[in-house]
Structure 1
């Protein structure tokens, strides 16, 4: 299929082409669009068309998601620039520095979780008086013995 050109001369891709090139499903692209992360236009036949630059936005979204950045944060960061735009080096530095503290906090949290897992045998609340992962200061122990979190989920609390 030959790519169409938009009014401004930019290459235009179908949703299938974007899915294939970006490695995400069509339903993911619909989801990203519904959340305002990417934008499309419609051609005369009412079919979605995306500028080729959308591939950069999707790459940023995928990398950010892999690092644990929530979609709301990604949208906030990308929302500072026109949809599907090519970020300049300065804009990229600005966006990445805004994520830096969030990522550093996430890293510290993951390191603490990793270091605490050695003391946990799974559910923890059956064998430990104080589970730092799920039951800080043993607050659930005040309700009685056993896996209180699981019982609360089943409405047995």
Structure 2
């Protein structure tokens, strides 16, 4: 497959393929005129790169998983560690989402008068948002009004 076909099928720009080749993530098998040629299995490798990038791996970390000319080698502990990082990110983002939802629906006259919002503000000021399990579950407007 030429580079244009690979780019179209993988959904990435040709410049990305050239960059990945420069970084050693993929390898062309030759040329047809000025166009690079790739084996069809490059699409699987590009899919693995896309998954790894989405999971938060750097290109250098991904390159370490790909031995030249061999199948990718995934260190299971590295994968488990990345899953733990994602869990922590999910907890922080969930707490942020819950705080924003509360602020959007809070019946207090101002956000600064809302005890729940103040707790989120204090947590943000200290650099540690609360874990989602410490965020009160969503309740009806009447219950939230009584709490504020």
TM above 0.5, yes or no, is yes
Change (3 A) 1:25 1:136: same
TM-superposition CA deviations, 1:56-76 (whole Å, max 9, x none): 110100111222222222122
From the CA coordinates, give the structure whose radius of gyration is larger.
2
The TM-score with structure 1 as length reference comes to: 0.56
Unmatched 5+ residue regions in structure 1?
Answer: 1-12, 122-126, 138-157
Asked whether the 8 Å contact 1:56–1:86 carries over to 2, the reply is no
Write the distance in 1 (CA, Å) between the matches of 2:32 and 2:44: 26
The TM-score with structure 2 as length reference comes to: 0.59
Considering fraction of residues, name the structure with more helix. 2
Asked whether the 8 Å contact 1:41–1:48 carries over to 2, the reply is yes
- Give the match for residue 114 of structure 1: 94
Asked whether the 8 Å contact 1:39–1:50 carries over to 2, the reply is yes
Say how many residue pairs are matched: 113
Aligned alpha-carbon RMSD (Å): 2.9
- Give the match for residue 21 of structure 1: 9
Which secondary structure state, in structure 2, belongs to the residue aligned with residue 43 of structure 1? strand
